[in-house]
């Protein structure tokens, strides 16, 4: 008797076309709860001057409102795989979202700079667990044939959130107090808690089940490594660039700790805090490298573009944020294009196309000056946002191709760390390039041109690396092929 399943009747939709209801509900629930975390990575960036003035502090001190949040994310992200094994995905998500909600309320009530920084760290501890867990929960619940469509649901805020953050932040500041930057999270978090409690199936380990042990030596290596790297990169914007002791010392220390962790993790295998064995899979390591470049391109541009409008064109912070709206619109449009395009031509060519669009759309800014007509730049931003959005969806899909169910949390952590560090590298690198170019040429317009050409070069590198991604995967059509997250490499 043939093991192949008989063809479905003509009236029935193929399995790959009928979205799994449970997986879809989980995707919507984590999207509602997680959007605030993603927005918070950039929404406060436009409020630093207002915060410094209202809380009677210098900009150097108030900068830790953003830096503390990012460092807290870096500490928590590596522990998500172990925490999920101990608590279950649903319980970890609810606890993390509740901590983020508490941190948001406390941030809105902050009375001075130290209290605000402390409450932002609390926010980051909750949000850090949610970021990789969003992807893990959807990928583990989705049949393999439908992962591409469902991942587009959670890829949307990942692509649009950092872009729209400064825009939303500028609008909130224009209408009211900076405290509303945090209070706006409250309804989203409450709705997310209700949905998660009702929709996400319980998966807590049985009382007598064997619980994973925390790789404490691994945590004591990786968490300080990430904190040191992010801290060092956050200090680059001062005079002296990468040559400063406050930059070099944490960067060297972080690199050494990361190298020791990596060697140890390879030897430990599945017992390590983060199983680096997932990087033996070509789709996973290629997607991880591209996530690093995507983070650098996205967050590096989020430094350059507002500064271009403010410093070279004389726009206010609010107007500069509004000028970035076309980029957010482009990312929103990608939601309708990327899944279908990926099905037709595969992840590799969609990723190539996305990075090409980003590179082509960055070039006009390299030729722009203080008097360049605005509307061509608006079109370029629309195309740039479209390219960034198109890239995220295939990368989030292909990064998990061929991994076993238990490997998904580790791959999610690795890709999230790569994007986080890549974003910090992008901000630091482009800040130094812009400052050095301005000092060398004496022309702010020439300095921005140099920085945007460097940004275009990084995108060209991403285009070349995209060809390492695997080609189009044959669509699954049988029950055996639509099992959740295949175990074969």
Q: Average of pLDDT values for 336-354? A: 84
DSSP-derived letter for residue 111 is -
- pLDDT band, very low/low/confident/very high, at 367 (cuts 50, 70, 90): very high
Average pLDDT over residues 413-428: 83
Dump pLDDT digits (tens) for 467-488. Answer: 988 876 654 433 333 344 443 3
In contact, 328 and 160? CB cutoff 8 Å: yes
Best CA proximity match to 339, nearest among 396, 404, 281, 295: 396
Range of weakest confidence among 15-24, 225-234, 302-311: 15-24
Check if the beta carbon of residue 472 is closer than 8 Å to that of residue 345.
yes
Percent of the chain with pLDDT over 70: 83
Q: What is the mean pLDDT of the chain?
A: 79
Whether 158 has a pLDDT exceeding 70, the answer reads no
pLDDT of residue 106: 95
For 273-284, how does the pLDDT look when each residue is reduced to its tens digit (9 = 90+)? 888 888 888 888
Q: What is the pLDDT of residues 290-336, one digit of tens each?
A: 988 888 887 777 778 878 887 888 877 677 778 888 887 888 787 77
pLDDT confidence of residue 481: 37
Q: For residues 167 and 65, is the Cβ–Cβ distance under 8 A?
A: no
Q: Are the beta carbons of 417 and 265 closer than 8 angstroms?
A: no
Please report which confidence band the pLDDT of residue 19 belongs to, taking 50, 70 and 90 as the band edges.
Answer: low
State the pLDDT confidence band at 42, using cuts at 50, 70 and 90. Answer: confident
Residue 65 vs residue 46, higher pLDDT: 65
DSSP assignment letter at 143: B
pLDDT tens digits for range 177-209: 888 888 888 998 999 999 989 888 877 766 666
d(CA 482, CA 475): 9
Please state the rounded mean pLDDT for residues 77-90: 84
Residue 141 has pLDDT above 90, yes or no: no
- Cα–Cα distance between 85 and 274 in angstroms, integer? 13
With contact defined as beta carbons under 8 Å apart, do 451 and 437 qualify? yes
Contacts of 274 (CB under 8 A, 6+ apart): 78, 81, 218, 222, 265, 410, 413, 414
**Lowest-confidence range among 63-72, 150-159, 369-378, 447-456?**
150-159
* pLDDT tens per residue across span 235-256: 776 566 677 888 889 999 999 9
Q: What is the pLDDT of residue 293?
A: 87
Lowest average pLDDT, out of 79-93, 104-118, 377-391, goes to: 79-93
Note the pLDDT of residue 6. 41
What phi, psi does 324 have (nearest 5°)? -85, -5
Residues in the chain, overall count: 489
Q: What is the pLDDT of residue 60?
A: 61
pTM score: 0.75
Name the packing angle between helices 113-141 and 147-175 (round to 10°).
Answer: 160
Lowest mean pLDDT among 67-76, 364-373, 459-468: 67-76
């Amino acid at each position: 008797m043939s093991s192949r399943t008989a063809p479905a009747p003509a009236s029935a939709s193929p399995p790959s076309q009928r979205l799994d209801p449970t997986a879809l509900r989980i995707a919507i629930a984590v999207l509602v709860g997680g959007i605030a975390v993603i927005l918070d990575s950039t929404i406060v960036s436009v409020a630093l001057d207002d915060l410094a003035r209202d809380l009677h502090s210098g900009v150097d001190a108030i900068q830790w409102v953003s830096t503390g949040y990012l460092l807290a994310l870096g500490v928590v992200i590596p522990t998500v795989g172990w925490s999920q094994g101990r608590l279950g995905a649903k319980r970890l998500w609810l606890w993390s979202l509740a901590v983020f909600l508490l941190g948001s309320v406390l941030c809105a009530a902050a009375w001075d700079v130290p209290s605000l920084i402390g409450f932002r760290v609390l926010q980051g501890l909750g949000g850090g667990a949610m970021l990789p867990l969003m992807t893990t929960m959807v990928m583990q619940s989705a049949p393999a044939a439908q992962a591409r469509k469902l991942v587009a649901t959670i890829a949307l805020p990942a692509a649009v959130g950092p872009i729209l953050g400064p825009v939303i932040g500028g609008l909130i500041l224009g209408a009211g107090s900076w405290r509303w930057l945090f209070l706006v999270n409250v309804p989203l978090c409450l709705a997310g808690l209700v949905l998660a409690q009702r929709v996400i199936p319980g998966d807590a380990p049985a009382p007598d089940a064997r619980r994973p042990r925390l790789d404490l030596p691994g945590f004591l290596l990786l968490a300080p490594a990430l904190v040191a790297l992010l801290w060092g990169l956050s200090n680059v914007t001062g005079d002296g660039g990468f040559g400063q002791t406050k930059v070099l010392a944490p960067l060297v220390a972080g690199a050494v700790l990361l190298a020791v962790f990596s060697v140890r993790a390879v030897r430990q295998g599945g017992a390590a805090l983060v199983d680096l064995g997932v990087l033996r899979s070509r789709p996973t390591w290629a997607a991880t490298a591209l996530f690093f470049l995507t983070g650098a391109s996205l967050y590096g541009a989020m430094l350059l573009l507002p500064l271009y409008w403010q410093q070279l064109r004389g726009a206010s912070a609010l107007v500069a944020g509004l000028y970035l709206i076309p980029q957010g619109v482009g990312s929103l449009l990608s939601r309708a294009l990327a899944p279908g395009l990926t099905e037709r031509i595969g992840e590799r060519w969609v990723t190539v196309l996305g990075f090409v669009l980003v590179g082509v759309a960055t070039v006009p800014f390299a030729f722009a000056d203080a008097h360049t007509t605005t509307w061509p730049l608006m079109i370029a931003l629309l195309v740039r946002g479209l390219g960034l959005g198109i890239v995220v969806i295939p990368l989030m899909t292909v990064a998990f191709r061929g991994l076993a169910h238990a490997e998904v949390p580790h791959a999610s952590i690795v890709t999230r760390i790569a994007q986080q560090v890549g974003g910090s590298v992008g901000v630091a690198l482009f800040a130094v390039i812009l400052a050095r170019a301005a000092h060398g040429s004496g022309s702010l317009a020439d300095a921005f041109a140099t920085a945007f050409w460097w940004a275009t070069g990084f995108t060209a590198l991403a285009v070349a690396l995209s060809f390492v991604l695997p080609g189009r995967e044959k669509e699954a059509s049988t029950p055996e092929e639509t099992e959740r997250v295949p175990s074969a490499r």
